[in-house]
C-alpha cells in the first residue's frame, strides 16, 4: 500500500468536503432571509392596540422567533468562517518552495563524503517523500477537524431555523385574527400636536410704488420754435 497516495487522497477529499459545505450554506442564507422578511412583515402590520391576549401571544411568539433566528444566524456565520477560533485550513506549500527544498537536499547529500551523485539524489528523494507524507497527514488532520466543526455549525443552523419556522407558524394565528379584524379598513394616520407653538405674525406695509421725478430742461420752457400764424394765413390768401 502506497501511504503517500493514500494520504494524498484524504487531503484532496478534505478540501472537496470544505467546498461542498460552503456551497450548501447558500440555501441556508436564502431560507433565513425569507424567515426574517416574514417576521418583519408580521411585526410591522400587527396592531398592538387590539385584544390584550392577542397582543401578548404575538409578542411572545415574536421574541421566540427573534431568538431562534439570531442563534441560527450566529451558527451560519460560524460555519462560514474559516478563520474563527483557529478554523484555518491547511494547504501544502507552493511548488517553488517544495522544489527548492528538494534541491537543497540534493546539494546537502552531494557534499557528504563517500556519496556520489546518484546516491545523493536517492537519499534526497527518500527524505523529500517522508517530508511530503508528514505534511499531507498534518494538513489533512487540520482540514478534517475544521470540516467537522463546520458541519456541526451547519446542523445547528438548520435546527434553529426549524424552530423559528414553527414559531412563525404559530405567529400566524394572532396575526391572522388581527388581520381579519382590520380587513377592509383604511389606514388613517393620526397626527397629534402635544406642544403647540405660538407664532406672532407681524405684517408691515411698505409702499412699493416708485415715484419718479422728471426734471425738464430750461426751467420748463419749451425748446420748440414759435411759429408766426399770422404770416401763414396771409400767404394762404395771396394764393
Alpha helix (H) residue ranges in 91-219: 95-110, 117-181
How many other C-beta atoms lie within 10 A of the C-beta of residue 92? Answer: 13
What size, in residues, is the chain? 239
pLDDT of 63 reads 94
The C-alpha atoms of residue 184 and residue 201 are separated, in whole angstroms, by: 44
The C-alpha atoms of residue 50 and residue 178 are separated, in whole angstroms, by: 8
Residue 39 Ramachandran class (φ > 0 left, ψ -120 to 50 alpha, else beta): alpha
The pLDDT profile of the chain, 239 residues, written as one tens digit per residue, is 688 899 999 999 999 998 898 888 889 999 999 999 999 998 888 877 777 888 888 899 999 999 999 999 999 988 887 654 556 888 999 999 999 999 999 888 888 777 777 888 888 999 999 999 999 999 999 999 999 999 999 999 999 999 999 999 998 888 888 777 766 555 555 666 666 666 565 555 555 555 545 455 554 454 444 445 444 444 444 44
The dihedral formed by the CA atoms of 176, 178, 184 and 189, expressed in degrees to the nearest 10:
-130
pLDDT of 229 reads 47
Q: What are phi and psi of 61, to 5 degrees?
A: -65, -35
Report the candidate in 18, 159, 198, 5 with the shortest Cα–Cα distance to residue 90: 18
The C-alpha atoms of residue 53 and residue 58 are separated, in whole angstroms, by: 8
CA distances, 8 to each of 12, 14, 150, 228 (Å): 6, 10, 22, 133
Residue 7: in which H helix or E strand, if any? helix 3-44
The C-alpha atoms of residue 28 and residue 36 are separated, in whole angstroms, by: 12
Cell of 174: 394572532
pTM confidence score? 0.66
Amino acid at each position: 500500500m502506497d501511504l503517500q497516495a493514500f494520504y494524498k487522497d484524504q487531503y484532496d477529499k478534505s478540501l472537496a468536503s470544505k467546498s461542498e459545505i460552503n456551497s450548501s450554506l447558500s440555501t441556508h442564507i436564502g431560507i433565513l432571509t425569507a424567515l426574517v422578511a416574514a417576521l418583519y412583515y408580521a411585526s410591522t402590520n400587527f396592531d398592538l392596540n387590539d385584544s390584550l391576549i392577542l397582543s401578548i401571544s404575538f409578542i411572545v411568539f415574536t421574541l421566540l422567533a427573534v431568538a431562534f433566528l439570531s442563534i441560527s444566524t450566529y451558527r451560519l456565520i460560524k460555519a462560514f468562517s474559516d478563520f474563527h477560533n483557529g478554523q484555518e485550513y491547511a494547504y501544502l506549500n507552493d511548488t517553488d518552495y517544495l522544489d527548492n527544498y528538494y534541491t537543497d537536499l540534493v546539494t546537502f547529500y552531494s557534499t557528504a563524503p563517500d556519496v556520489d551523485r546518484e546516491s545523493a539524489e536517492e537519499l534526497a528523494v527518500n527524505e523529500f517523500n517522508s517530508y511530503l507524507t508528514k505534511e499531507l497527514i498534518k494538513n489533512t488532520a487540520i482540514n478534517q477537524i475544521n470540516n467537522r466543526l463546520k458541519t456541526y455549525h451547519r446542523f445547528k443552523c438548520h435546527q434553529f431555523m426549524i424552530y423559528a419556522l414553527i414559531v412563525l407558524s404559530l405567529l400566524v394565528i394572532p396575526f391572522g385574527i388581527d388581520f381579519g379584524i382590520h380587513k377592509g379598513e383604511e389606514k388613517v394616520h393620526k397626527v397629534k400636536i402635544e406642544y403647540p407653538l405660538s407664532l406672532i405674525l407681524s405684517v408691515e406695509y411698505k409702499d412699493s410704488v416708485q415715484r419718479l421725478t422728471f426734471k425738464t430742461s430750461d426751467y420748463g420752457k419749451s425748446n420748440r420754435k414759435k411759429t408766426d400764424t399770422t404770416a401763414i394765413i396771409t400767404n394762404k390768401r395771396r394764393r
